[in-house]
């Protein structure tokens, strides 16, 4: 690979990794393909035509050039590079399914290739960018989480893994948010036991314990336990909330709930004596 090609390949990978690559319109990719007829020509010239087309955002032309590299030179290193560039072109055009398919084909055929980490990362990014709001089915979110964890597991010391870990935190926050949304739904309909199960998932699942939803989950548990007459459990949740988030608005709300119900909030010393603030559960962080 020439210095020019190496420089562009690195730029492409770093741009996606940093999240600065903005997917553009399809430009015909996956719809009307740009009609390009190639005669046999030097592989470097053909590959560079695809690179130039990416720089000009002519993605249909770029895809046609890389596919032609594979057709004319199927057993060359250029074909391997073109296969991965096809995945990138589809990603740019927001053709996520096609991008994933191309990247998976690459890692299936070339699992030990030096570009395999980028291929796995690109798969994860394609899932990640399709995450929807918490009110919808979270199947895509779960697939993104699995793909991001796969990057971390396979290539833990890479820059791709570092970025994947950041995105994993975001995905877990999304999944915890879904649990909270369902829990609030049940709570508003006085289905307290179903609500309790959802809120407990947020505070007991280690992946969710560092999300932004934990303080509210603890407060909602105070509310739900009071509603069903489980006073000591309500006190316990309030004590854990006060210990971990003493200055939060959620703790103030829980304190007011207990007081209005004629229940004395448990002092931290007493909560600790009872084992409510153990590291395994009571101390969330």
Q: Are 82 and 94 in contact (CB under 8 A)?
A: no
How do residues 168-184 score in pLDDT, each as one tens digit?
999 999 999 999 999 99
pLDDT of residue 8: 46
Cα–Cα distance, 86 to 78 (Å, whole number): 12
Does the reported pTM lie above 0.85?
no
Mean pLDDT of 265-275: 81
Q: Is the pLDDT of residue 45 over 70?
A: yes
The DSSP letter of residue 24 is -
Domains recognised in the chain with CATH numbers: 1-130 (1.25.40.10)
Cα–Cα distance, 239 to 245 (Å, whole number): 10
Cβ neighbours around 169 below 10 Å, total: 13
Q: Is the pLDDT of residue 201 over 70?
A: yes
How do residues 47-99 score in pLDDT, each as one tens digit?
888 888 888 888 898 998 899 888 888 888 898 999 999 999 999 989 999 99
CA 32-36-42 angle, 5° bins:
145
Cα–Cα distance, 59 to 56 (Å, whole number): 8
Q: Where are the alpha helices (DSSP H) in the chain?
A: 3-17, 43-55, 59-72, 77-92, 96-109, 116-128, 139-154, 159-188, 192-204, 214-227, 231-244, 249-260, 268-273
Question: Considering only CA atoms, which of 251, 244, 240 is closest in space to residue 274?
Answer: 240
Q: Is the pLDDT of residue 142 over 80?
A: yes
Cα–Cα distance, 165 to 170 (Å, whole number): 9
Mean pLDDT of 126-148: 84
Range of lowest pLDDT (34-43, 153-162, 236-245) = 34-43
């Amino acid at each position: 690979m020439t210095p020019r090609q190496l420089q562009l390949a690195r730029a492409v990978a770093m741009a996606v990794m940093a999240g600065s690559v903005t997917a553009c319109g399809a430009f015909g990719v996956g719809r009307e393909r740009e009609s390009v007829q190639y005669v046999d020509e030097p592989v470097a010239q053909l590959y560079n035509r695809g690179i130039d087309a990416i720089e000009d955002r002519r993605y249909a032309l770029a895809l046609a050039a890389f596919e032609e590299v594979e057709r004319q030179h199927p057993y060359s290193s250029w074909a391997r590079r073109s296969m991965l560039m096809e995945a990138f072109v589809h990603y740019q055009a927001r053709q996520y399914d096609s991008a994933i398919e191309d990247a998976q084909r690459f890692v299936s055929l070339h699992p030990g290739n030096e570009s395999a980490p980028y291929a796995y990362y690109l798969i994860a990014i394609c899932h990640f960018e399709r995450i929807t709001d918490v009110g919808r089915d979270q199947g895509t979110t779960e697939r993104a989480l699995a793909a991001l964890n796969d990057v971390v597991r396979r290539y833990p010391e890479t820059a791709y893994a570092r970025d994947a870990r950041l995105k994993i935190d975001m995905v877990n926050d999304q999944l915890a948010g879904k649990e909270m949304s369902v829990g609030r739904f049940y709570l508003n309909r006085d289905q307290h036991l179903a609500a309790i199960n959802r809120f407990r998932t947020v505070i007991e699942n280690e992946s969710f314990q560092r999300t932004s939803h934990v303080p509210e989950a603890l407060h909602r548990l105070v509310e739900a336990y009071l509603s069903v007459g489980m006073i000591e459990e309500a006190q316990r949740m309030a004590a854990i909330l006060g210990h971990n988030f003493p200055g939060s608005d959620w703790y103030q709300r829980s304190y007011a709930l207990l007081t209005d119900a004629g229940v004395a909030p448990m002092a931290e010393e007493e909560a600790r004596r009872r084992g409510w603030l153990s590291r395994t559960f009571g101390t969330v962080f």
